[in-house]
Amino acid sequence: MEWVWTIYRPYVEKALAREGVAAPTDEQLQSRFLEVLGASSVTVLVQEPWQNSVRFKTLARYEPSDMFDLLNNPEEFLLQHFGGGKFKLNFHQGWHFVATQNFKPEGDPKWMSLPEMEISYDQIQDTR
């Protein structure tokens, strides 16, 4: 799960800097990372052809208690649940965007037969 820390690091460093911690220790970084990750959600989107362009279809949203397998082995998780395609994982802490990461597992696109997930604003919790 080193890839998760890599994409979260700038967000964690900025959060600590806003609190006056300009040169955080490894322990402070790790502690804040776990705190932020524990309050994060991840939205799975897939790129699909649409008219004469592309769009991103929302497939799923995972809360911290449901995203371990996705974070542990994203390519395998995506392939198993959604098939092949160009996927975008968007991470948020409440209303705050944290980072995005793209994956492109090869395989049959199971996601094409899935309905688009609608996310309402009341599903998003502000964790400030």
Domain boundaries, the chain: 2-117
Decide: 89 and 43 in contact? Cβ < 8 Å: yes
Q: Tell me how far apart the alpha carbons of residues 96 and 111 are, in angstroms, rounded to a whole number.
A: 27
- The Cβ-side half-sphere exposure at 22, using a 13 Å CA radius, reads 0
Q: What is the pLDDT of residues 42-95, one digit of tens each?
A: 999 999 988 888 899 999 999 999 999 999 999 999 999 999 999 999 999 998
Decide: 67 and 25 in contact? Cβ < 8 Å: no
Q: Is 3 helix (H, G, I), strand (E, B) or coil?
A: helix
Q: What is the pTM of this model?
A: 0.87
Q: Which parts of 34-115 are beta strand (E)?
A: 40-50, 53-62, 87-93, 96-103
Q: What is the pLDDT of residues 82-121, one digit of tens each?
A: 999 999 999 999 989 999 999 999 999 999 888 888 876 5
